[in-house]
A and B are shown apart, each in its own frame.
Chain A
Amino acid sequence: MSMGGRVLGLHLGLLVVLFALQFVLPAYHHGNIARIMVLASYAVGYNILFGYTGLLSLGHALFFAAGMYGMGLTIQHAGFTPAPALIVGIVAGALVAGGLALLALRTSGVAFMIVTLMFAQAGYLTILYFGEYTRGDEGFVIQQAQRVLWGVDLSDPTARYFAAWGLFSVCFLMSLWLVQSRFGGTLIAIRENEERVRMLGYDTYAHKLGAMVVSGTISAAAGAFYGLLFGYAGATFGSVQYSIFPLLWVLLGGAGTVLGPFVGTLFMFYLIDLSSGVTSAYMLIAGVALVALTLFAPQGLTGEVRRRLWKGLP
């Protein structure tokens, strides 16, 4: 798979459009897109492990929360400024992902799902257990004064949009580059048939370990940015629900496509936001939409585009 010009054009085009959108969007949607870009980065991270490597994790909230608390706790209790705090958050996520990978990758399939779920649940409970520092479920506010990065106040809408766009661009391009690299190709091969890849002499364990660390690190970066940009860290973000969200977004958008995570996040966000304006039973609409999608667009939105229109879409 070479990086075709059309492919590169499409993906860079999305980033350009997202960059340009900030000048035309009304305030509400401006804020939403900023939020969606951070959440989509989380989904991009998830997609590397699930979509490309074929490992279904139910514990990614652990990495998201590791990033968020690594950042938040150092600001709150160690008086860090945002830049080093973000680095702490991302490194914390990488370490947690690496540690969990060493254990969880001894398993596969459903056992892998449960092991990741269990450790994420233990992580969530740990946040509550150390309530003295984390304020448990209630969480804590990262004050505006603590959110000034290199003189830029991240609570300002424009600055926030830029930061979210920057994060998303890095994660997105990294994902595009990764899946077209040799390493990414091996991951896809592992997804399709791990046994064969191993027999061809590849160290599949090392590849999966790498994928999980990259995936966890990106998720942690998203968590750290989310906390910093929106000024809050709370245990809810470590709950099972937040492990299921990226799975849902990725499946909706199209697992194993670079664009899928963003498309799915955008779709789900506006599905809930718009339908909640129409009816209080918006969960019903979301539920029906999910069922309908599995029936009529089984590969997710981007997956359908790839299946019907554009075979070479990465």
Chain B
Amino acid sequence: MTKLIKGTSRRGALKTLAGAAAGAASLPLWARYAQAQSSEPIRIGFQQHSTGIGAAYGRWYGRTTEAAVKLLNEGGGINGRMIEIIAEDDGTDPKRGAEVVEKFANQHGCDVGFGTLFSHVVIGSAPRAGELKLPYFVVSEGHHVASGMLNRYTLQPGITDVKSQVQAMAPYVSENLGKKVTMIFPDFAFGHDHRDFFTAAIEEQGGEVLEQIAIPPSETSFTKYFPQIPRDTEVLYHVMVGPAVLTFVKELGEFFGEQGPEIFGFIDSLEAVDISSPGLEFLEGTYFWEGMPRYAQEDQSEHEKFYREAVGVDENGASVSDPSDVSTYAHMFGCWETLHIIKAGMEASGYAGPLDRAKLIEAVEAMGEMPESRAHPQGAKRFNGKTHQVFGHQHISRVENGRLVRVHTTSIDDTMYPDEVDYTTQPL
């Protein structure tokens, strides 16, 4: 492919994005007639965590995906072609994940793969996606994409990564909560990312991490680890994932009772869990990172309101049909936004079929600023085509009267860090 063509496709991408900003729904009607080369649907392989430890996330990733596809298809699909989601369960297992990617590419004839959350599944699957030259859009918040570990065919355009999230928290924590921090995190790679990135970021702010408490995986009782928290801790930073998260937070509350330091946590510790569950009263007044505020805020944008309704989430972040079914609101918007980006990329590159996969990758790499819109209800984003990673606003919320109320939103610049890789130098 020559530079000239690449240039046009980049311009095309920008044009589409501008259109998307103006209102995504009005866009594709012309496309249906202008660009329809085939009535075949666009097949998107959805690697879903339906079973295994990721199942609670998988269910909501599924609902969000369904809602986004419904919207996109009602608006004319992609280039006039309907979107068909082919969901395969990966059991939240990297071996099965790789097999599922092969199935997408070789069995189902999918145009792209999409939707993986858990980092180990992403890392286990990405090499196969690269070899099969299947564009692989992950929604994982892992730092694996931007770290350069993966390949040109793996992108994360719909959700920010843990490194940018964590480092953007440090200024607020050190200015408002305290400078002496103790961290509690799971003792595996995701937790280590938190440990390393936050420790560096808080030191830059003139703070320090007093103690790092790594909890072994599959641990079900936590109180025995809490005495290691030093007495002069001003802020307790916690992040936990897996089925035992609620036990963890409850025992934290039982441990401290009324006294205790300021508490700052990643909502991952309570994703899909009701904040008003019995035993969580102590969370009142504590702080959480949220990718997207679970409770509808007073100033919520029209785009977010639309998104919330489309997915079927009430203003407390639970399912409209079952208030006890709490969503994974802080993460699942990534599916919605990623699908819109796949659409924008395919339309910008004039994607007609699997032979155009390379053009699709280049079109997405050419994306830059993405304004807040119906396609990006979480807020504006900035995609880095070299590292294949998107950057966006982060939120800090405080628990007030049993609801999460947003108290701070970072700028996108707060979340940026120097590039660690340039995927565009790899061959397509």
Contact = CB atoms under 8 A, between A and B. Distances in A.
Are A and B direct contacts in the complex by CB distance below 8 Å?
Answer: yes
B51 A141 contact: no
B344 interface: no
Contacts of B217: 128, 137
Interface stretch (A106-114, A179-187, A226-234): A226-234
B120 A234 contact: yes
Interface in B199-221: 216-217
Interface in A221-270: 230-232, 234-237
Interface string B63-94: 00000000000000000000000011100011
Contact of B188 (A27, A136, A142, A237): A136
A29 to B, nearest CB: 8
Contacts of A138: 119-120, 123, 142, 144, 188-190
A247 to B, nearest CB: 17
Nearest to A131: B192
Contacts of B94: 139, 232, 234, 236
B95 A237 contact: yes
Nearest to B93: A236
B285 interface: no
A28 B192 contact: no
A128 B188 contact: yes
B103 interface: yes
B99 A141 contact: no
Contacts of B93: 236
Majority DSSP secondary structure for residues of B touching A: helix
Contacts of A283: 51
A140 B120 CA distance: 9
A161 B305 CA distance: 51
Contacts of A128: 187-188, 216-217
Contacts of B120: 137-139, 234-236
A135 B126 CA distance: 16
Interface string B86-127: 011100011100110011011100000000000110011011
A141 B189 contact: no
Contacts of A294: none
Nearest to A282: B89
Interface string B126-167: 111011000000000010100001110000000000000000
Given A131-B189, A137-B189, A32 B126 contact: no
A139 B142 CA distance: 12
B99 A35 contact: yes
A234 B142 CA distance: 15
Interface string A50-71: 0000000000000000000000
A78 to B, nearest CB: 18
B84 to A, nearest CB: 15
A232 to B, nearest CB: 5
Nearest to A242: B95
Contact of A230 (B88, B128, B188): B128
A135 B189 contact: yes
A276 interface: yes
Interface of A: 26-28, 31-32, 35, 125, 128-129, 131-132, 135-142, 144, 155, 230-232, 234-237, 273, 276, 280, 282-283
Given A138-B144, A142-B127, 15 more contacts: A128-B187, A136-B188, A136-B192, A144-B151, A230-B98, A230-B128, A231-B127, A231-B128, A232-B124, A232-B127, A234-B120, A236-B93, A236-B120, A236-B124, A237-B95
16 contacts: A27-B105, A32-B102, A129-B187, A131-B192, A135-B123, A138-B120, A138-B144, A140-B149, A141-B149, A234-B124, A236-B93, A236-B120, A237-B95, A273-B99, A276-B88, A282-B89
Give the 6 A-B residue pairs with the shortest CB-CB distance, closest first: A138-B189, A231-B127, A28-B106, A27-B106, A28-B107, A136-B188
